[in-house]
């Protein structure tokens, strides 16, 4: 147990170090963007938070798939905590994106901003995931229903993206194109450090919550064993 | 072949049940016409016909929701689902049959709604009908699976719209696009893609949702 705690602590420390390094690099080292000036620096946080949210949802779906495949309920908690972390990062994406939109375009919300609209759709979708979980009796059926819903989520991401693209005019600044990232090496390095920090943070949060939830379950089992 | 026979028998059961009890369909018909009337009064005078197109799609999705909330009521209240799950047939046949009966209800509701829309607002175009037909399939495919999930929860009727509406957003985008665009082909193609992907996904995952 103490070994695991140490690992968790190390992970949290790594996340903190990487995030601090990312923020420091973003503010003091990365060059100022020619078009957008200082405000562009939120890019390093906004985009890495968004990618981490996608990664969490993807991780949740992977665990959901394993649950349905192996019929092993252990994966239920892992899938659930991944969705939870994903939603937290999704909300952060909405907030940072909104701030960026306010500074760049003068509005807090723009329906022309594809990624933001997509995150709004995903936020609504995954919020319903919690409604589904909390209004269903715990057990294998709830685990499987949640898993199916989490799987629908990763399919909905590209479908919604396509839908929003079909529906909207495009004013989102395109940074990642087929020719690779359109930014200088120092910017890209800063971005990578921020991204690594965010992923480490998400993973640390996921592991912490998972450990807590498992402890809860164990406690319940012990209580039941004592009561009977 | 037995799979299709199972599906046909189950769909026949649903339609016969509705024919005898008349629980769902009259409500859907009345609801869709009432919403269109409400929409007429909710549009300020001088609004473009494009706004009416959007509202027609809202009416269709909400009418579908009304039908979907009723979809598994008999299964739940009469504990019919236990019997169906125990029956020696593939569970996905239950989904397919229920989805087909939902499509049938939706089509009947639209047979009333589209003339009413043409009467109240503006004529209905062929591309709009094509969009609605494709959307019906997607709505029924996803809706049937989610209705089965919602029926297993405590919140039931409350939960279904929350689960369904985020998944219906692409359908709305494709449907409205197909109704108003000059070249509806890409929107119709998108609706077809949505139908295909989510039908396969729902068909494959229904078993996990209904078994205890």
Task: Read off the pLDDT of residues A113-172 as tens digits, 9 standing for 90 and up.
Answer: 778 888 999 999 999 999 999 998 888 889 999 999 999 999 999 998 888 888 764 345
Q: Are residues B167 and A156, on separate chains, in Cβ contact within 8 Å?
A: yes
pLDDT at A170: 38
> Comparing B195 with A164, which gets the higher pLDDT?
B195
User: Does residue B41 come out as left (phi exceeding 0), alpha (psi in the -120 to 50 range) or beta?
Assistant: alpha
Q: Given B163, B177, B198, which is nearest A166 (Cβ)?
A: B177
CB within 8 Å of A166: residues ≥ 6 apart: B173, B174, B177, B186, B187, B190
> In the 8-state DSSP scheme, what is residue B153?
S
**pLDDT, tens digit, 9 for 90 and up, residues B45-90:** 777 778 888 899 999 999 999 999 988 888 888 888 888 888 888 8
Where along chain A do its domains lie? Answer: 14-22+41-227
Residues of B in contact with A131 (CB under 8 A): 155, 159, 162-163
| Regions of chain A short of the pLDDT cut 70 | 1-5, 33-37, 168-182
In sequence order, the β-bridge partners of residue A176 are: A181
Interface of B with A in 140-159 (CB under 8 A): 145, 149, 152-155, 158-159
Least Cα separation, residue B137 to chain A (angstroms): 16
pLDDT at B113: 93
Is the Cβ of A159 closer than 8 Å to some Cβ of chain B?
Answer: yes
**Residue B42: exposed, middle, or buried by beta-carbon count in 10 A (0-12, 13-18, 19+)?**
exposed
| pTM of structure | 0.87
Query: What DSSP line would sit under chain A, residue for residue?
Result: -HHHHHHHHHHHHHHHHHHHHHHHIIIIISPPBTTTBGGGGHHHHHHHHHHHHHHHHHHHHHHHHHHHHHT-THHHHHHHHHHHHHHHHHHHHHHHHHHHHHHHHS-S--TT-HHHHHHHHHHHHHHHHHHHHHTS-SSHHHHHHHHHHHHHHHHHHHHHHHHHHHHS---S---EETTEE-S-HHHHHHHHHHHHHHHHHHHHHHHHHHHHHHHHHHHHHHHHHHH-
What is the C-alpha separation between B89 and A56, in angstroms, rounded?
37
- Looking up tokens 């009966």, which residue turns up? B101
For the cut 80, the answer to whether the pLDDT of residue B100 exceeds it is yes
**Percent with pLDDT over 90 in chain B:** 50
ipTM: 0.89
- Provide the sign of the torsion angle of the four alpha carbons B203, B205, B209, B212, taken in this order: positive
Interface of A with B in 5-64 (CB under 8 A): none
Q: Are residues A68 and B205, on separate chains, in Cβ contact within 8 Å?
A: yes
Is the Cβ of B180 closer than 8 Å to some Cβ of chain A?
Answer: no
Q: Are residues B201 and A149, on separate chains, in Cβ contact within 8 Å?
A: no
What is the C-alpha separation between A112 and A109, in angstroms, rounded?
9
Is the Cβ of A121 closer than 8 Å to some Cβ of chain B?
Answer: yes
Residues of B in contact with A75 (CB under 8 A): none
What is the C-alpha separation between A122 and A50, in angstroms, rounded?
12
Least Cα separation, residue A40 to chain B (angstroms): 31
Strand, coil or helix: what is B111? Answer: helix
Is the Cβ of A128 closer than 8 Å to some Cβ of chain B?
Answer: yes
Q: Given A124, A128, A135, which is nearest B154 (Cβ)?
A: A135
> Comparing B83 with B106, which gets the higher pLDDT?
B106
Smallest CA-to-CA distance from B199 within A5, A210, A159 is with: A159
Q: Which long-range contacts (CB under 8 A, 24 or more apart) does A106-115 make?
A: A110/A171, A111/A168, A112/A168, A112/A169, A112/A170, A112/A171, A112/A172, A113/A171, A113/A172, A114/A161, A114/A164, A114/A165, A114/A168, A114/A170, A114/A172, A115/A50, A115/A172
Q: Are residues B152 and A163, on separate chains, in Cβ contact within 8 Å?
A: no
Least Cα separation, residue B81 to chain A (angstroms): 14
For the cut 70, the answer to whether the pLDDT of residue B110 exceeds it is yes
Two structure tokens written together for A146: 């949640």
- Looking up tokens 């072949």, which residue turns up? B1
Where along chain B do its domains lie? Answer: 2-210
Mean pLDDT, chain B, whole residue set? 89
Let me know: does A194 contact A8? Beta carbons within 8 Å.
no
Q: Are residues A163 and B162, on separate chains, in Cβ contact within 8 Å?
A: no
pLDDT at B109: 93
pLDDT at A4: 61
Q: If you measure CA to CA, which chain A residue comes closest to B201?
A: A152
Residues of B in contact with A136 (CB under 8 A): 152-154
Q: Given B155, B190, B201, which is nearest A152 (Cβ)?
A: B201
Q: Are residues A148 and B149, on separate chains, in Cβ contact within 8 Å?
A: yes
Q: Are residues B149 and A132, on separate chains, in Cβ contact within 8 Å?
A: yes
Is the Cβ of A69 closer than 8 Å to some Cβ of chain B?
Answer: no
Question: What is the Cα B98 distance to its own chain's centre?
Answer: 11
Confidence class of residue B104 from pLDDT cuts 50, 70 and 90? very high
Q: Are residues B170 and A159, on separate chains, in Cβ contact within 8 Å?
A: yes
Q: Are residues A135 and B145, on separate chains, in Cβ contact within 8 Å?
A: no
């Amino acid at each position: 147990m103490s070994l695991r705690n140490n690992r968790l602590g190390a992970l949290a420390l790594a996340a903190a170090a990487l995030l601090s390094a990312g923020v420091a690099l973003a503010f003091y080292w990365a060059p100022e963007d020619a078009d957008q000036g200082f405000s562009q620096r939120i890019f390093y946080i906004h985009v890495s938070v968004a990618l981490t949210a996608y990664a969490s949802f993807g991780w949740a779906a992977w665990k959901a798939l394993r649950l349905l495949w192996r019929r092993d309920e252990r994966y239920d908690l892992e899938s659930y905590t991944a969705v939870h972390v994903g939603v937290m990062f999704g909300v952060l994406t909405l907030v940072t994106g909104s701030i960026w939109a306010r500074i760049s375009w003068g509005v807090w919300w723009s329906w022309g901003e594809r990624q933001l609209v997509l995150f709004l759709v995903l936020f609504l979708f995954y919020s319903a995931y919690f409604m589904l979980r909390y209004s269903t009796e715990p057990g294998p059926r709830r685990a499987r229903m949640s898993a199916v819903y989490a799987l629908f989520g990763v399919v909905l991401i590209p479908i919604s993206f396509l839908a929003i693209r079909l529906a909207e005019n495009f004013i989102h600044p395109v940074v990642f194109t087929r020719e690779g990232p359109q930014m200088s090496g120092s910017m890209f390095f800063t971005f990578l450090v921020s991204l690594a920090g965010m992923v480490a943070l998400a993973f640390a949060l996921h592991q912490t919550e998972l450990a807590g939830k498992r402890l809860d379950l164990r406690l319940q089992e012990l209580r039941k064993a004592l009561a009977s | 072949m037995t799979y299709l026979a199972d599906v046909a028998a189950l769909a026949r059961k649903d339609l016969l049940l509705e024919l005898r009890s008349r629980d769902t369909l009259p409500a859907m018909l009345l609801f869709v016409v009432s919403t269109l009337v409400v929409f007429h009064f909710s549009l300020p005078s001088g609004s473009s016909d494009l706004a009416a197109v959007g509202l027609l799609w809202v009416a269709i999705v909400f009418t579908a929701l009304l039908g979907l909330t009723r979809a598994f009521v008999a299964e739940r209240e009469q504990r019919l689902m236990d019997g169906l799950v125990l029956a020696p047939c593939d569970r996905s046949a239950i989904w397919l049959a229920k989805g087909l009966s939902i499509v049938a209800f939706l089509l009947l509701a639209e047979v009333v709604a589209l003339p009413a829309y043409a009467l109240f607002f503006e004529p209905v175009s062929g591309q709009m009908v094509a969009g609605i037909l494709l959307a019906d399939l997607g709505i029924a495919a996803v809706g049937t699976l989610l209705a089965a999930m919602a029926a297993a929860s405590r919140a039931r009727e409350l939960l279904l719209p929350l689960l369904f509406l985020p998944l219906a957003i692409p359908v709305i985008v494709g449907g409205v696009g197909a109704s108003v665009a000059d070249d509806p082909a890409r929107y119709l193609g998108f609706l077809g893609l949505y139908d295909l992907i989510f039908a396969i996904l729902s068909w494959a995952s229904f078993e996990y949702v209904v078994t205890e």
